Structure 1
Amino acid sequence: MGTDKAEGIAGLDFSSVTPEEFARIVKGLSGKDISAIATDAPLRGRVLREVFARMERQFRPEAAGTLKALIRWQVTGSEGVEDTVYETDIAEGACAVRAGRSEAEPRVTLVMGDAEFLKLVSGNANPVTLFMTRKLKVVGDVALAAGLTRYFDIPKV
């Protein structure tokens, strides 16, 4: 692997890491650290699976109200690692997450690299800033994308 911090993430028991601890870990990662994770396909897959699994637990139904939306997340791969796609389906006060691309038409698709994704979901980046700096591509409902973080308990770091 590439760095001590990336190796440290490889050894993490994600089930025992709180969202706040995860946010601090991500905040402490350099671009080189994230690249080491992003180019290690098994580790990248494990990190993405854990992040998306947490989305269901960190969902805030009271904030979502009657929102009904399918959000497609495309995390772009690098250095021969394929893109990873997940979908979050918000409906009836619940959030369901599934790996892969369904046949359903998403209300919004978010396309970003590994670094941007990790920073966004850990509270270390603002979605509007990522969009304005072209590090986040939004296809579909831009207003939904801009306010998406309010539907999840994301630590403030």
Structure 2
Amino acid sequence: MPDDSNGSLTDELAGLDFAAVSPEEFARIVKGLSGRELAEVMRGELRARVIGEVFGRMRQQFRPEAAGRLNALIRWKITGSEELVYETLVADGTCAVTEGRSEAEPRTTLVMGDADFLKLVSGNGNPVTMFMMRKLKVAGDVGLASGLTRYFDIPKA
């Protein structure tokens, strides 16, 4: 996605209807942006829209056949200008997503910055590599965290 300045890139992305962007197109957009550009995009109102849309799609991207009998609460903490917390409950072949922190104890918690979150959920980041480079922090069940991507249909850009 060409741009002359960060302002025009942000303006261009702010004008997108993220609900109409396919997962494959989203993956291509993220792949085409540098870490600095991703950080710039993830400022202000656009950040909440993008993250909200990603979590809003998790139920559709969920692969119940891959999850089998998995029963786990996964807490996601996305750091940045402010910490956003979402929880994904995988149980009985379903996936439910809620915004905010519940009182329940998660089986695993994933903590990462905005740009790394976008890379992970768009298939542009390898979770094991991100963990080894300390871009992704995991508390709790590391084995579950390392295999989470197989439970979701994540496009490749």
Q: TM-score, normalised by structure 2?
A: 0.94
The equivalent position to 1:27 in structure 2, one of 7, 31, 43, is: 31
1:42-81 equivalence runs, <5 A: 42-77=45-80, 81=81
How many angstroms does 1:59 deviate by? 0.3
SS at match of 2:41: helix
Counterpart-to-counterpart distance in 1, 2:34 and 2:27: 13
Counterpart-to-counterpart distance in 2, 1:32 and 1:136: 17
- The two structures, once aligned, show a CA RMSD in angstroms of 1.2
CA deviation digits over 1:76-114, x for unaligned, max 9?
01xxx2100000000000000000000000000000000
- Kept in 2: contact 1:3–1:33 (CA 8 A): no
Counterpart-to-counterpart distance in 2, 1:7 and 1:22: 16
Opposite residue 138 of structure 1, the aligned amino acid is V
* Aligned residues between the structures: 153
Counterpart-to-counterpart distance in 1, 2:66 and 2:10: 34
Counterpart-to-counterpart distance in 1, 2:83 and 2:41: 14
SS at match of 2:56: helix
Q: TM-score, normalised by structure 1?
A: 0.94
Q: Name 1:155's counterpart in structure 2.
A: 155
Counterpart-to-counterpart distance in 1, 2:35 and 2:125: 14
Opposite residue 130 of structure 1, the aligned amino acid is M
Counterpart-to-counterpart distance in 2, 1:119 and 1:110: 14
The equivalent position to 1:6 in structure 2, one of 5, 10, 18, is: 10
> Any gaps of 5 or more consecutive residues in structure 1?
none
SS at match of 2:6: coil
Counterpart-to-counterpart distance in 2, 1:149 and 1:6: 28
How many angstroms does 1:117 deviate by? 0.3
SS at match of 1:66: coil
Opposite residue 103 of structure 2, the aligned amino acid is E
Opposite residue 137 of structure 2, the aligned amino acid is K
> Any gaps of 5 or more consecutive residues in structure 2?
none
SS at match of 2:146: helix
Q: Name 1:107's counterpart in structure 2.
A: 107
